[in-house]
Amino acid sequence: MDEMKEKSKGQKLLDKLTYNSKNAWEVIPDRELIFSFCDGYKAFLDKAKTERTYVREAVQEAEKLGFEDLDMMIAEGLPINPGDKVYRVVRNKAVIFAVIGKQPVEKGTRMVGAHVDCPRLDIKQNPLYENTEMAFLKTHYYGGIKKYQWLTIPLALHGVILKKDGSVVDICIGEDQGDPAFTITDLLPHLAKDQMQKKLHEAISGEGMNALSGSIPYDDKEVKDKVKLNILNLLNEKYDITEEDLISSELELVPAFKAKDVGFDRSMIGAYGQDDRVCAYTGMMALFDVKDPDYTAICVLTDKEEIGSVGNTGAESRFLEDFLADLCDMTTDNYSDILLRRCLNNSVMLSADVNAALDPNFEGTHDKFNAAYLGKGLAILKFSGARGKSGASDAHAEVVSRIRKLFNDNDIPWHTTELGAIDKGGGGTIAQFIANLGVDVIDCGVPVLSMHSPFEITSKADVYAAYKGYKAFLKKLE
C-alpha cells in the first residue's frame, strides 16, 4: 500500500534537493558478485603481506594475463602499441602496470595509485640477543602504530637476507599451519600496576618490543649466550648465514593470522594490511580488466607511504615520471621532455588510499556530516592534512566534479569525507607528491575501521565498490 501512495510535495522536494549518501549494499544488490570478489581479495591478502611479496604475487598474476616487462621490451628494442599491457618492477618493492591507450601518451593517462607497504615491526640490523636464557629479536616499528596492539599476538617473519656473496635468502616463517611463530610478550595484569598508570603511548617502549625467538641452549658448558648460539647455529644450518649477514637483511614481523570474514552476515573482512592493500588490490584488478582504453590506463603501487613516501621506491621519487617518460619515448619518433610534461599535466589520478571510517565506539573523532562510513562505498576525500589543512593535497572542485559525475553515471556508491574532525589529528597520502608532478589527483579509497591495527576491518560492499569505481575511472573518464 505504501508504495502506491503518492509522495508528498515536501518529500519530493527533499529527494530532489538534498545530498544523501547511500548504503553500498543497496546500490549493488548482487551479493554473490561481492562475496566472490572478496574471496579472491582475502586469498591475495594471505599471500601478499609485505611490499616484496605483494609485488611478486601481483607480477605473477599480471604475466598470466599477458603483461610484459617494459624493461625487457626496451632492451630488445620492441615497440609498444595501443592495447599493449606492460609493467615495471621498481627494486622489488613497487610496481607499475599499464595498458596503452589509443590516444598518444602526451594526451594524458588515467592512473590509480595505491601503496603496498603497511605498518609493521622491522627487525633491526643487529637484532639477536639473549636475556635470562631466552633469545629475542630487536625490532624497530615501521609506520604509525599503537604499540600495545602488537603485543601477545602471533607474528610471522618475512623478508630477505643478503649473504656475504650477495646471494639472496628468502625468509617466510609463521604462515604455514606447522610453522612456529614469534611474539612480543606483555606484562600480566597482576604485576602491571605501574604500567597501567602510564599514558597509553608511554606504556610500551619501542626498545621493549623484542620478539621472543628461542630458549634451548647450545650443548657446550664452556660458552656463554648458549641460547643465542643455538639459534645462530640453526640459522646457519638452514640458510647458510652468519650473524653479520643479518646486517644486510630486510626482515619484517607481521601478524601471522589469515584474513577472516567478520559478522554473522559475513559482510566485513578482518585482516592485516588492508591499508592500503584493499585499494592496491581493487585498483590492480580494475586495471587487469581494462582493454583497449582511449587513454593509457595505469595502476601504480608504491612503497614507503607509511613513513612519508620517501626513497626511490616511494611516491616522492621520480619512478612514475621515469616510467611515463619511457612510454612517451616508445610511442613517438621524436621524444623530448615536453612530451612528458604534457603527459603529466594532462593526466588524472585517483589516489587510492583508505579512509578512517567513523567508529561508533569512539565519539567525537569525526564530523558526522563529512565522515567516512563503513558500507557507503568509495570515500572521496577532497582534502587531507591537519590543523587548518596544513600539508593537504586539496583536489580542485573541477576534479571533484568530474569524479562525482563519473560515479553517478556508473552507479558507483560513494560519499564525501574528511579524514576526521578538525584538530583531532590528520594525515596525508601519496596525493601531494603526484600533484607536484602536475597531475590532477584526488584521494578516493575504502573506509577502514581499526586502521593500522593488526586486524583492520573493511566492508565487502565497499571493496567491490572500489573495484567497480576504479574500473569506471580507468575505462571511462573523458
447 contacts 354 by C-beta, under 8 angstroms: yes
Pick from 275, 326, 440, 443: which binds Mn ion (CB under 5 A)? 275
Nearer to Mn ion, 34 or 451 (CB): 451
Nearer to Mn ion, 175 or 275 (CB): 275
- Asked if residue 456 binds Mn ion (CB under 5 A), the reply is no
Cβ 180 to Mn ion shortest distance, Å: 29
Residue nearest to Mn ion (CB): 276
- Span of 216-224, 234-242, 308-316, 353-361 interacting with Mn ion by CB under 5 A: 353-361
Cβ 142 to Mn ion shortest distance, Å: 11
Cβ 317 to Mn ion shortest distance, Å: 17
384: three-class secondary structure by DSSP: coil
Cβ 301 to Mn ion shortest distance, Å: 12
- Span of 34-42, 209-217, 267-275, 455-463 interacting with Mn ion by CB under 5 A: 267-275
Quote the Cα angle for 277-111-357, to 5°: 40
Q: How far apart are CA 44 and CA 50, in angstroms?
A: 11
Q: How far apart are CA 204 and CA 186, in angstroms?
A: 9
Cβ 445 to Mn ion shortest distance, Å: 8
> In a 10 Å sphere around its CB, with 0-12 CB exposed, 13-18 middle and 19+ buried, how is residue 120 labelled?
buried
Cβ 287 to Mn ion shortest distance, Å: 19
The DSSP code sequence of 322-351 is HHHHHHHHHT-SS--HHHHHHHHHT-EEEE
Stretch 367-406 residues interacting with Mn ion (CB under 5 A): none
Nearer to Mn ion, 100 or 253 (CB): 253
- Asked if residue 353 binds Mn ion (CB under 5 A), the reply is yes
Nearer to Mn ion, 106 or 353 (CB): 353
- Span of 56-64, 65-73, 230-238, 347-355 interacting with Mn ion by CB under 5 A: 347-355
CB environment 186-210: b (16+ within 10 A), e (fewer) = eeeeeeeeeeeeeeeeebbeeeebb
CA-wise closest residue to 79 among 264, 332, 254: 332
Nearer to Mn ion, 252 or 276 (CB): 276
Cβ 230 to Mn ion shortest distance, Å: 38
Give the 3-state DSSP-derived string for 141-202, with helices as H, strands as E and coil as C. Answer: EECCCCHHHHCCCCEEEEEEEECCCCCEEEEEECCCCCCCCEECCCCCHHHCHHHHHCCCCC
Pick from 117, 245, 276, 462: which binds Mn ion (CB under 5 A)? 276
Cβ 229 to Mn ion shortest distance, Å: 39
Terminal-to-terminal C-alpha distance of the chain: 44
Q: How far apart are CA 243 and CA 249, in angstroms?
A: 11
- Span of 102-110, 200-208, 275-283, 324-332 interacting with Mn ion by CB under 5 A: 275-283
- Span of 217-225, 236-244, 256-264, 349-357 interacting with Mn ion by CB under 5 A: 349-357
CA torsion through residues 434, 440, 442, 445, sign = negative
- Asked if residue 84 binds Mn ion (CB under 5 A), the reply is no
Cβ 279 to Mn ion shortest distance, Å: 8
Q: How far apart are CA 280 and CA 50, in angstroms?
A: 12
Q: How far apart are CA 379 and CA 373, in angstroms?
A: 8
Nearer to Mn ion, 103 or 365 (CB): 365
Residues in contact with Mn ion by the rule CB under 5 A: 275-276, 353
